[in-house]
Structure 1
Amino acid sequence: MSVRSQAERLLQSATQELTTAGVPSPRVDAELLLSHVTGVPRGMLTTRAHPHEMQRRTYLEMIAARARRVPLQHITGSAAFRYVDLEVGPGVFVPRPETEELAGWAIERAMTVDAPVVVDLCTGSGAIALSVVHEVPQARVHAVELDASAHGWAERNLLGTGVDLRLGDAFEAFGDLDGAVDVVVCNPPYIPLDAWESVAPEARDHDPSLALWSGDDGLDAMRALELVAWRLLRPGGVVGAEHADAQGESAPAVFVPRWRDVRDHADLSGRPRYVTATHP
């Protein structure tokens, strides 16, 4: 069997298995996993990948796990986020590409301040906090996570960065920073409790429940965030928070009564994705 046909046959079989399982991007996932196993870049798999028997078995096990809708990043153990790579696995929310835009906003705002103080609430894997300290090295970054397992992943990812990582309730944390913060950023839980069936199995069955559900309308955490950001931010400080695409009006409405410059922002696909506001 030629090198090309061996890789192609593996990919074709894997793609069919993932398609049958309802995986949204079966060919891409099949290629990413084969690349992960063999170390050959995706674009060269059919010409250069020549997996030996142990690699083939490992690959088939990974495809079977992905067919069970285990997140791709849990299988590979890593997730790319902006310019950093994060260790992820069972017990931590996998950072999404959409959240990179919220992180970018926080980074841009932090860059306008000398020695900015940035707080990342509900940090999960530490994705936003790590991106901020990576791209704004002069920032003093603080992060908090309530779930002990997710906090453990954040510890791995933030080790040696200087980020002040704490274990605790995001909406009660950082009393020592009241009125001294320049940027508060948060990717809170925002899925309504009755939306169970609409959530992808990768999130519903594998992400921590604390990272997903937020009351009957999905805005319980947003309301709590509004209170804590008001307490933490200095006058003129800013807050940014991700929300569901169906919350493009309801999420900003949480901030309208006492904040200024309340704006909602779309993601790259044009869907409402995050709200920002300024402490008066």
Structure 2
Amino acid sequence: MRELRRRAADRLRAAGVASPERDADLLLAHVLGVELGRLPLVDALDAGEQEAYDALVTRRAAREPLQHLTGSAAFRHVELAVGPGVFVPRPETELLAGWAIAAASALDRPAVVVDLCTGSGAIAKALADEAPDAEVHAVELDEGALAWAERNLSGTGVDLRHGDLATAFEDLAGTVDVVVCNPPYIPLEAWESVAAEARDHDPHLALFSGQDGLDALRVLERRAGVLLRPGGVVGAEHADVQGESAPGVFTASGRWSDVTDHRDLAGRPRYVTARLAR
């Protein structure tokens, strides 16, 4: 088993996979239907398991996302079904979700929260899980991603709609406490630098946003200004090179106070928050 795992990791490393040992082990645990920590207790694979494992390692070496191969992605305390047609949630976004959960939980009444560009429904599902008293609404434009969000948000009580962030939730205008969004933010010119897993498998609608990567953020700034009640807050993820330009979108409009940029666990600029001026 050790040799099997080593050979699989070597194949993934040669293919440029960022975490070859962990991916090899996660795929093996998936094939065996066991938790990762129980792999050392497994003595051998039968012929069917060996064939299935080899097939998955080959697909991962071709840079197919790990989560597409296992069919799920962990996000904070929830599991999400993911696959072709939806953006795979990243660990960095858990910080933005945590901010939204804290903002919603800080009120002395049930908060009204809107998740724009919900994708798989990751942030909305985390909100429903960790801020159960909040009234959570979510919207997604892409029909393929919407189908995954419907699956993930079923039974959570989240109000999920099909629509554009630029016009969504007109019925909630001026009543929302927290707007949260993980918009597309990659500049078109950065195409070649995007990891193969994202560039070749994530929906481009969820990745690219104009020449400077800020087109969707500009739309979000305007829509959040419509949706939020005075004093309400907005939070949005951005690329690590947009630590000044993303907050600049909010400061330039004159609608916002407390514009603050936040860093991820690696110390990189990751998301911006702001409060609608009273």
Scaled by the length of structure 1, the TM-score of the pair is 0.96
Write the distance in 1 (CA, Å) between the matches of 2:27 and 2:41: 16
Contact 1:242 1:273 in 2 (8 A): yes
> Partners of 1:212 and 1:40 in 2: how far apart?
33
Match of 1:150 in 2: 145
Equivalent in 263, 266, 269 of residue 263 of structure 2: 266
How many residues are aligned here?
274
1: distance between equivalents of 2:32 and 2:233?
Answer: 45
Q: What is the aligned partner in structure 2 of residue 26 from structure 1?
A: 20
From 90, 105, 112, the counterpart of 2:106: 112
Structure 1 partner of 2:220:
225
Deviations 1:47-68 (A, max 9, x none): 3253211111111111011001
Cα distance between partner residues in 2 of 1:41 and 1:87: 18
Segment of structure 1 superposing worse, 97-106 or 166-175: 166-175
Q: Deviations over 1:218-268 (max 9, x none)?
A: 000000000000000000100000000000000000001321000000000
Of 182, 191, 195, which aligns to 1:196? 191
Aligned to 2:209: 214
Partner of 1:278: helix, strand, or coil? strand
Aligned to 1:66: 60
Separation of aligned partners in 2, 1:29 and 1:117: 38
C-alpha spacing 1:276/1:49, structure 2 compared with 1 (3 Å): farther
SS in 1 for 2:249: helix
Aligned mates of 1:44, 1:173 — CA distance in 2: 46
Shift of residue 41, structure 1, vs aligned partner: 3.0
In 1, distance between residues paired with 2:237 and 2:43? 40
1:183 to 178, 181, 192: 178
Q: Secondary structure at the match of 1:75?
A: helix
Tell me by how many angstroms 1:12 deviates: 1.4
Distance 1:239 1:12, change over 3 A: same
SS in structure 2 at match of 1:118:
strand
Which moved further from structure 2: 144-153 or 36-45? 36-45
Distance in 1, matches of 2:43 and 2:196, equals 31
Partner SS for 1:202: helix
- 1:46 aligned partner: 40
Taking the aligned partners of 1:153 and 1:98, their CA distance within structure 2 comes to: 20
- In structure 2, list runs of 5 or more residues that go unmatched: none
| Pair 1:278-2:255 in alignment | no
Matched, 1:82 2:76: yes
Counterpart Cα distance in 1 of 2:113 and 2:41: 47
- Of residues 2, 13, 18, the one that matches 1:8 is 2
User: Which residue in the other structure is 2:155 paired with?
Assistant: 160
> What CA deviation, in whole Å up to 9, does each residue of 1:139-188 have, x standing for no partner?
11000001100000000000011111011111211000000000000000
Tell me, in whole angstroms, the C-alpha distance in 2 between the residues paired with 1:108 and 1:41.
31
Q: Distance in 1 between matches of 2:44 and 2:138?
A: 43
SS at match of 1:256: helix
Percentage identity across paired residues of the two chains: 65
Separation (CA, whole Å) in 2 of partners of 1:204 and 1:119: 27
Normalising by structure 2, we get a TM-score of: 0.97
Distance 2:6 2:206 in 1: 35
Query: Whole-Å Cα distance in 2 between the matches of residues 238 and 191 of structure 1?
Result: 24
Give the match's secondary structure for 1:245. Answer: coil
Letter in 2 for 1:190: Y
